[in-house]
Structure 1
Amino acid sequence: MQIGIFTNCYKPLVNGVVGAVTLLRKGFLEAGHQVYIFTPAYDHFRDEEDGIFRYPAVDLTTKVKYPVAIPWSPRISRQLAGLRLDIVHSHHPFVLGPLARRVARRKGIPAVYTFHTQYDQYTHYVPLPAELVKWSAKRQVRRFAKTVDGITTPAESARQILIGYGVDRPIAVIPNPTDLSKFQSGDGRKIREQYGLGGEKLLVNIGRVAPEKNLSLLLAAFQRMIAQAPQGTLKLMIVGDGPALQPLIREAEERGLGDRVIFTGMVHPDAIPDYLAAADLFVMTSTSEVKPMAQLEALAAGVPIVAVAAAGANDTIEHDRNGLLTPEDAEAFAAAVVGLAYDEWKYRSFGKAAQRTADAYSYRRIAGEYLETFGRLIHDMKRC
């Protein structure tokens, strides 16, 4: 099978969609298929992988390093014409998504769309009235979903979101993939030594540091945790970079948390297993996720999770088994973290359950589910 993947983000960007696309590509290749990725250029970055096609791009804004493709390239059009693709898989309904659909129509092959993102939660990046942007985003997702041959999404709650948008087509739920082995062999001691951590319990949040991640709530909750936990036994580490990093550092100082919160900035993706191995708990206050890779990676590392109950968490975390779900409230979140972190029996039980949960998200298994879906769509189209 020859698979064309169209995605508005890819390496060297680091986010959940990039992680999912990277692992799906790996799984497809290992299963003996050919994979071509169509994505925006990123400054002077050069791909070491084969089959990557880069469209010219401009940055989303001067403040956010997020290349947006200009979906027109005579060179790539010629190369596309020569490829005998069997299916195209788009990970976005904008920019390269419509291009993927046009390629599928020209070649007479199925187009699949995976819904990863609640775009209406990202209105702060667009210099237009928020309600207008939300309406437009939902409308575009709905219109795009109605024009493709197959729709998938990583979680049942995300399927319900699509239904709420007015999508009345079949929607397959296929979870995001995880490279389990990589996260089960991290070196936490290295990270603890690097940041001068002793026996403190370490709470870790990993991801893009941006307004939609709701990290001010995490700081407010951590301030309460410090008051509830034994003195000097708790630290918070926020791993990642983004437009909210400097404001968040200032907020931590204003809350008197400067010596208890570690901001690492951007770290290399290969180091993430080490950061998770150093963690006692993974904490997440974001309510804008669909199926966050960071949560799956934490589970694979055997790290229990405390998260605000929302679409992205509700499908992954089994409350009171591999983690805890709380209201979007600083007091409730703090109480849950302290209650779990200092209950040794519950903590160990949750850690074992976390790894068992992660087994269902092996990238080979998830790639296999996609390949089965692709095969059915190709077969059905040939019959028509």
Structure 2
Amino acid sequence: MRIGMMADTYKPYVSGITTYIDLNKRALEESGHEVYVFTFGDLDYQDNEPRVIRSPGLPLADTGFYLSLRYKTAAKKLLQTMDVVHVHHPFLSGRLALRYCRPKQIPVIFTNHTRYDLYAQARLPLMPVEVSQSMLQAYMPDFCSAVDLVISPSPGMKKVLRQYGVESHIEVVPNGANLKPFHNAQPLPRAEFGFKEDDILLVYAGRIAPEKNIGFLLQSFAGVSKVIPNVYLLIIGGGQKEHEEVLKPLPGELGIQDRVRFTGMIPYDKLPSHLAMCDAFVTASVTEVHPFTVIEAMAAGLPIMGIDSPGVGDSVVDGESGLLSTEDIASYTAKLTYLCLNRDLQKEMGAAARAASEQYSIERTTKIMLGHYNRLTQNTKPIKQSLDEKLMAILEEFLK
């Protein structure tokens, strides 16, 4: 089967979506399928994998995203030879999927990976919540009804899509992860980082971005560190330079500069051993849909401390594989302190987390997704182009 993955951005940008595409592409290729990634920008980037098709785009500051309303002619023609197309961003890539694939009767699947309402609030704080919500309610229902299948990675995100007004059928298919490196990880020597064996080492891994709520996490950790003298926080990852510049002075302002270590970006194959060195994984993000880093930390045998929200709340069972609190500093700090002080609980929840991670194995989720691909390729019916699609096709021909 020839499968086209369409995304507004891909490597070298690092995100849950790029990780998802990379992992699924590899798994599908190992099963004998041809998988192509269609994206924008980074035309000079040397891909270390085959079949990544890039079209020019206008860079949007240092976000890693590019603006474009069309593919190169060669990319468009190649896309139209796919058996099925899987879209991972609903706006630019989503519209192009409908415009290019519907006339060729190629089934289009859309996975909603992102809480666009909360991202808008984090990235555009001056935009009223009502405006971002009304924009999504105007766009998402029509777009979702135009594709052949809508996928939500978690039950919580399915509820959010219903709140947007989406009435189409939604299948819940978890994001799969390659669990083996995390199950078999050997911890790095703590001494290499200046930590002692009896220290309590917490870890956050992920992008450094406003929507990840890391300021909240640092404020909570400051409260924990006042009670526990040997607790430390390791922050793994990078992101927007502007946000990093705002965030990195915060430990000093909170008086915890000696307790917090920023590692910056590390090679992905080094992440399992970094996680295995730690005692618990912490996150304060409420914008997740199905967080890879949480699943990977669970696979490494770490209990999770998070906020009860779609994504994290779907992955972690409060009191079993970790602890969940409301988005309240006092509540979060109290639960995190309790987890840090109870070594037996850490081990018990870590074992439960490892067992629970099995449901997210890439082997299992790939089989589920392939079932949907096969069903859609067999059942696709001719779809009449809408007026706006016809007009866009005419405009594209004019711009050639």
Instruction: Give TM-score scaled by structure 2 length.
Output: 0.90
Match of 1:3 in 2: 3
**SS of structure 1 residue aligned to 2:249:** helix
Match of 1:196 in 2: 194
In 1: Cα distance, 2:192 partner to 2:244 partner: 21
Correspondence 1:290 to 2:286 = no
Match of 1:327 in 2: 326
In 2: Cα distance, 1:320 partner to 1:292 partner: 19
In 1: Cα distance, 2:68 partner to 2:201 partner: 39
Q: Which residue among 83, 89, 96 is the counterpart of 2:93?
A: 96
Greater Cα shift, 217-226 or 264-273: 264-273
Deviation (angstroms), 1:21: 1.0
Deviation (angstroms), 1:104: 2.1
Counterpart of 1:292, as a letter, is: P
Match of 2:351 in 1: 352
Deviation (angstroms), 1:216: 1.3
Match of 1:23 in 2: 23
Counterpart of 1:195, as a letter, is: F
Please tell me whether the aligned partners of residues 112 and 150 of structure 2 are also in contact (alpha carbons under 8 angstroms): yes
Deviation (angstroms), 1:78: 3.6
In 2: Cα distance, 1:158 partner to 1:210 partner: 21
RMSD of equivalent CA atoms: 1.9
**SS of structure 1 residue aligned to 2:202:** strand
Please tell me whether the aligned partners of residues 55 and 70 of structure 1 are also in contact (alpha carbons under 8 angstroms): no
Match of 1:118 in 2: 115
Going from structure 1 to structure 2, the CA distance change for 1:31 and 1:224 (only over 3 Å counts) comes to same
Counterpart of 1:104, as a letter, is: C
Going from structure 1 to structure 2, the CA distance change for 1:150 and 1:33 (only over 3 Å counts) comes to same
Counterpart of 1:120, as a letter, is: D
In 2: Cα distance, 1:294 partner to 1:365 partner: 18
Could you list the runs of 4 or more consecutive aligned residues of structure 1 that deviate by over 6 angstroms after TM superposition? none
Going from structure 1 to structure 2, the CA distance change for 1:137 and 1:193 (only over 3 Å counts) comes to farther
Structure 1 regions of 5+ residues with no counterpart? none
Deviation (angstroms), 1:44: 2.4
Match of 2:213 in 1: 214
**SS of structure 2 residue aligned to 1:50:** coil
1:100-144 deviations in Å (ceiling 9; x for gaps)? 222321221211100110112122535973443443234322221
**SS of structure 1 residue aligned to 2:380:** helix
Please tell me whether the aligned partners of residues 39 and 69 of structure 1 are also in contact (alpha carbons under 8 angstroms): no
1:333-368 deviations in Å (ceiling 9; x for gaps)? 122122122222221111111111111111111011
Deviation (angstroms), 1:88: 0.7
Greater Cα shift, 99-108 or 128-137: 128-137
Please tell me whether the aligned partners of residues 25 and 35 of structure 2 are also in contact (alpha carbons under 8 angstroms): yes
Percent identity, aligned pairs only, is 33
Please tell me whether the aligned partners of residues 108 and 149 of structure 2 are also in contact (alpha carbons under 8 angstroms): yes
In 1: Cα distance, 2:12 partner to 2:118 partner: 24
Counterpart of 1:11, as a letter, is: K
Any residues of structure 2 matched to 1:1-384 within 5 Å, and which? Answer: 1-42=1-42, 44-61=44-61, 63-81=62-80, 83=81, 85-123=82-120, 124-126=122-124, 129-131=127-129, 132-190=131-189, 192-199=190-197, 200-229=199-228, 231=229, 233-243=230-240, 244-381=243-380
**SS of structure 2 residue aligned to 1:324:** strand
Query: How many residues align structurally?
Result: 378
Going from structure 1 to structure 2, the CA distance change for 1:47 and 1:69 (only over 3 Å counts) comes to farther
